[in-house]
Amino acid sequence: MVNIGIVGYGNLARGVECAIRQNPDMNLCAVFTRRDPACVKILTPDVPVLPLAETANWKEKIDVMILCGGSATDLPRMTPILAKDFNVIDSFDNHANIPAHYASVDAAASESGHIAFISVGWDPGLFSVNRLYAAAILPEGKDYTFWGRGVSQGHSDAVRRLPGVIDCRQYTIPVPEALNRVRCGENPELTAREKHTRYCCVVAEDGADRCCIEQSIKTMPNYFEPYDTTVEFITMEEMKRDHSGLPHGGSVIRSGVTGWNGENKQTIEYKLTLDSNPQFTSSVLVAMARAAMKMKARGYTGCKTIFDVSPADLSLMSREEMLAHML
Amino acid sequence: MVNIGIVGYGNLARGVECAIRQNPDMNLCAVFTRRDPACVKILTPDVPVLPLAETANWKEKIDVMILCGGSATDLPRMTPILAKDFNVIDSFDNHANIPAHYASVDAAASESGHIAFISVGWDPGLFSVNRLYAAAILPEGKDYTFWGRGVSQGHSDAVRRLPGVIDCRQYTIPVPEALNRVRCGENPELTAREKHTRYCCVVAEDGADRCCIEQSIKTMPNYFEPYDTTVEFITMEEMKRDHSGLPHGGSVIRSGVTGWNGENKQTIEYKLTLDSNPQFTSSVLVAMARAAMKMKARGYTGCKTIFDVSPADLSLMSREEMLAHML
């Protein structure tokens, strides 16, 4: 059994809790929170919710601590600190800051002799793995990543901060023609606008200037300005009824050529269609806890990523089962 | 540089030769053949073609020997023998016999201190890896593998052996409705007939009984009897003009659920669309040669499969490049 601790208790952490229940070799030991533990009600019976300050008392009981904080401020601080006492896994997803995060986590984990996985999930994560496999196999080719149709939390938050906006759900949608051209192996050059459109459902305050909100969204630099954006105003009831989920997904596609004169097209696509983005990310985090324990047992310490993990280490199966049934 | 030797010189070996040219860290040293070397003309200038009996003289010069023989009789015999003198990679694809092949190759490679990869390619190979990842991430789910549209060599050969048949190309075609149901997460139970149809283009001898050939194909046990098969008679000119390629591909799909009550559907699809089946397999073999050298340098010996290889080991990139650009 792998004894798991969870730090934080938002959507991602609840997903981890659910995924632990689906894996017979995983055991949830405790949830640690910065909130008042008495106010945090978890799903699993008989598992304690404890203050974050108490993690050190659980050093001997927890094999892997799964950190479910945010990438902006939580994880850069927490992952290195907790890697001093625990094997840790996080889902740090700020692509530009991965090298710096890696360095600080590696220093802590190497010194303490723990194994620490950063940036685990689907992007970064499984999408990254597929980019790497595909690039290694088709060195003469071109990569494309399409996201969606799905809810982007960052874009939804950006709209929510506008005056007059009560709530927003922003959907990122791949442009079907672009996706088709890539799938056909055309290897087109595509701008941001040509790859994705954005669709915002907005609940506005009574009397708010809807034209002004729509303009503010469509002209928001980086977030919306380089895209074709559709804004639709809906009621709070419609928001709750039709937009309460967090679906996402997308495709990583590499299209390349082989042959003495590059005469044959070869296309690899990895596609996710997810009803729940946080629960899928959680499922990857929990599978990684298994790999972390196997790799730790072989003497690995320091910071690792999904690139360092063999598929066999993610699996509960024995080598014999894998050879007989999966290869 | 990784110094490669190739054993055999059919479609797969020619693909390896082409893939070596696409990878700047790969160097082709020699091709070994059972035929008269004088009759084998390869694409790469200044590389010797040698009798198979001479491999032992190249022990010091070749880092990895890529074996391009057939799975029926060549590889079960050759891989263990060559693993005594070389690190080896094969594409053994007889799924039922993988455990036995593994055992005999492992004994030879472990004793000689070499690393030996078996069953490298796309199925077995990349499809297997995706089955394993997906099963580890979505433990409550169901796997589907669809092959095609593509040429099945085994089925084409089976038809070619019928009296009156000069040539045949057999295409395996996924049933679109079945594929759609799986992609939608329905998790249907599907029979062999419901998943794939078979299409045969046949060149018959003048005066052959076409009805009899068609019946013999459609009722052939295992190969065609459990499928809906279409037989079309074409001329040799049409065969050469329209069916000279060896396209293939397919999809591995796992559809599962997450959430406390399994309330969210999650679907993972890995899809290949290949103009040339042998060249794509070759590209995987060559990437694996890189991984073999990295793993050997870390002390790994014995028989391994693609399940044992971390994505990082397949890549030419440094850790820093991967973290900055691929994760």
Terminal alpha carbon distance of chain B = 26
Q: With respect to residue A219, please indicate whether it lies within any of the assigned structural domains.
A: yes
**What is the pLDDT at residue A197?**
97
Q: What is the pLDDT of residues B185-211, one digit of tens each?
A: 999 999 999 999 999 999 999 999 999
Co-location of B110 and B60 in the same domain: yes
Q: Which residues contact A188 (CB under 8 A, 6 or more apart)?
A: A178, A181, A182
Q: From the candidates A310, A316, A320, A321, which should be mutated to test the interface with B, based on the most B CB atoms within 10 A?
A: A310
A290 shares contact with chain B (CB less than 8 Å): yes
> Is the domain of A235 the same as that of A171?
yes
Rounded mean pLDDT, B123-135: 98
Domain assignment of residue A188, yes or no: yes
Question: By the CB < 8 Å criterion, does A47 face chain B?
Answer: no
Q: How many domains does chain A have?
A: 2
Question: Which residue of A lies nearest to B320 if distances are taken between CA atoms?
Answer: A99
pLDDT in tens, B17-56: 999 999 999 999 999 999 999 999 999 999 999 999 999 9
Whether residue A99 sits in one domain with residue A17: yes
CATH number where B11 lies:
3.40.50.720
Task: Specify the 3-state DSSP secondary structure of A324.
Answer: helix
Which of B190, B221, B245 is where one domain is finished?
A: B245
| B327–chain A Cβ distance below 8 A for any pair | yes
Q: Which chain B positions have a beta carbon within 8 Å of A248's beta carbon?
A: none
Inter-chain residue contact B18 with A259, CB threshold 8 Å: yes
Question: How much is the pLDDT for B272?
Answer: 98
**Domain-located, residue A127:** no
CATH number at residue A213: 3.30.360.10
Q: What is the DSSP string of B9-46?
A: -SHHHHHHHHHHHH-TTEEEEEEEESS-GGG---SSTT
Write down the H helix ranges in chain B.
11-22, 74-82, 98-112, 126-137, 153-160, 176-183, 192-195, 210-218, 236-242, 277-297, 311-314, 319-321
Note whether residue A269 is domain-resident. no
Q: Are residues A20 and A117 in the same domain?
A: yes
Query: Taking CB atoms and an 8 Å cutoff, what residues of chain A touch B130?
Result: 270
- pLDDT for B40 equals 97
Nearest Cα neighbor of A73 from A158, A8, A169 is A8
Q: Is residue A24, in this structure, part of any structural domain at all?
A: yes
Of the CA atoms within 13 Å of residue B101, those in its CB half-sphere come to 29
pLDDT in tens, B61-112: 999 999 999 999 999 999 999 999 999 999 999 999 999 999 999 999 999 9
Q: How high is the mean pLDDT of chain B?
A: 97
Could you read off the pLDDT tens digit of each residue along chain A, which spans 327 residues? 999 999 999 999 999 999 999 999 999 999 999 999 999 999 999 999 999 999 999 999 999 999 999 999 999 999 999 999 999 999 999 999 999 999 999 999 999 999 999 999 999 999 999 999 999 999 999 999 999 999 998 899 999 999 999 999 999 999 999 999 999 999 999 999 999 999 999 999 999 999 999 999 999 998 999 999 999 999 999 999 999 999 999 999 999 999 999 999 999 999 999 999 999 999 999 999 999 999 999 999 999 999 999 999 999 999 999 999 999
Residue B271 CB coordination number (10 Å): 19
Q: How far apart are CA B321 and CA B327, in angstroms?
A: 9
3-class SS shares of chain B: helix, strand, coil, % to 5:
40, 30, 30
Q: Does residue B267 lie within any of the structural domains?
A: no
In a shared domain, residues B175 and B287: no
235-264 of A, contacting B, C-beta below 8 A: 245, 258-260, 264
Asked whether B126 and B270 are in contact (CB, 8 A), the reply is yes
| CA distance linking residue A189 with residue A214, whole number of Å | 30
Same domain, A197 and A303: no
A239 and A171 in a single domain? The answer is yes
Task: Please tell me which of the candidates A136, A268, A312 has its beta carbon nearest to residue B272.
Answer: A268
The answer to whether residue A264 sits within a structural domain is no
pLDDT of residue B222 exceeding 90: no
Judgement on whether residues A182 and A230 belong to the same structural domain of the protein: yes
Does residue B89 fall inside a structural domain?
A: yes
| Residues on chain B touching A12 (C-beta within 8 angstroms) | none
Closest to B275 (Cβ–Cβ): which among A264, A269, A308? A264
- Complex ipTM over 0.85: yes
Neighbours of B143 (CB within 10 A): 18
A208, A295: one domain: no
Inspect the interface and report whether the beta carbons of A264 and B271 lie closer than 8 Å. no
Q: Taking the CA atoms of A108, A110, A113 and A119 in sequence, report the sign of the dihedral they define.
A: positive
Q: What is the pLDDT of residue A222?
A: 87
Distance CA B93, CA B75 (A): 10
Structure confidence by residue, pLDDT tens digits, B242-253:
999 999 999 999
Name which of B308, B286, B297 is nearest B6 in CA terms.
Answer: B286
Considering only CB atoms, A98 lies closest to which of B269, B305, B327, namely B327
Domain that holds residue A118: 2-122+278-325
Chain B contact for A166 (CB, 8 A cutoff): no
d(C-alpha A304, C-alpha A27), whole Å: 23
